A = this chain, B = another copy of it.
Amino acid sequence: MRIGELSRRTGVPTRLLRYYEEQHLLHPDRSGNGYRSYPESAVARVQQIRGLLDSGLTTEMIRAILPYLCGPDALVPDPGSVPPETAALLQGHIDRIQSRIDCLARNRDRLAAYLAVVRPGGR
């Protein structure tokens, strides 16, 4: 599929699809005329990227973790082919994400508590 269709199907402007490619988050190949050509799976991938960006991750973090969370993973490598430092890096990313979750959850709870007091019969 070409960039326009991908854009329509994901709601992401073509400008950004090209930007994500520049950031090595997407790797469309090119057809003879130079047009980008995306596989069907790009739709999900783009939605994945958008979700993570909207959640406040940078393209750099996304680039780091994207290889490990794309698809139902028929492509799990055999253990041992993944060097321990990669596993450690990955664990670091997981920890950072967990910190964010904790912070956000804490503050969500505070807001909800406030709201509960202020709007006792609410909702």
Residues of B within 8 A of A73 (CB): 114
Do B103 and A54 have beta carbons less than 8 Å apart? yes
Q: At the interface, is chain A mostly helix, strand, loop or mixed?
A: helix
Given contacts A104-B97, A104-B100, A104-B101, contact A79 B111 (CB under 8 A): no
Do A110 and B76 have beta carbons less than 8 Å apart? no
Give this chain's copy count.
Answer: 2
Residues of B within 8 A of A55 (CB): 56, 99-100, 103-104
Interface, chain A (partner B; CB < 8 A) = 51-52, 54-57, 65, 68-69, 73, 76-77, 79, 82, 84, 87, 90-91, 93-94, 97-101, 103-105, 107-108, 110-112, 114-115, 117-120, 122-123
